[in-house]
Structure 1
């Protein structure tokens, strides 16, 4: 049975409630099977625990108590459209010399042209 967020500090998983016996096998001393609903009327703040600040940079968020940074989009929409029109992953051809890649081109990871020496630097 998972503990409520108010019972356990999210970032460091420190127990914030005085009623929690710090036992892995039960949720809390008062509600061993868990509470009914999404809050606990018996919650008592532990005065010995320092307040915890959940800081997150812009573009990041917490998932399962872990801070996840969202990838930054490096290409503009125009650059993305150009990539669709020219990259061998989508065309099957080298953008520099128009050499056709073998038919297995959809399973490739590296897109380096053996004819003209063009190398894919997007990966």
Structure 2
């Protein structure tokens, strides 16, 4: 819906994602509103939206995504895309080798929780 920066300081502003104001429910047509009436005590409201979330009725909601025809909630991401790619290319869970010295790990990956290199002392307990 079209909204101008002054809307959140107007006495007619609804603060809803479905209605802009009581006078013009779908918002003003241009860059100014002829019905603007400043609310004396109002302060501009800025709602920051992190990636993968949005505000619905002043509540921050994690966006849902469709996966195999089923709607699921997108979980917050722990690592960046670059860190995930680095892990796939270098972590011993995927390569079988220490990323620091290249020593080979035993192939008992299913039971392993801690990744400690006996050669150089490299450790990664985060995976």
**Please, what TM-score do these two structures have when normalized by structure 1?**
0.41
Greater strand proportion: 2
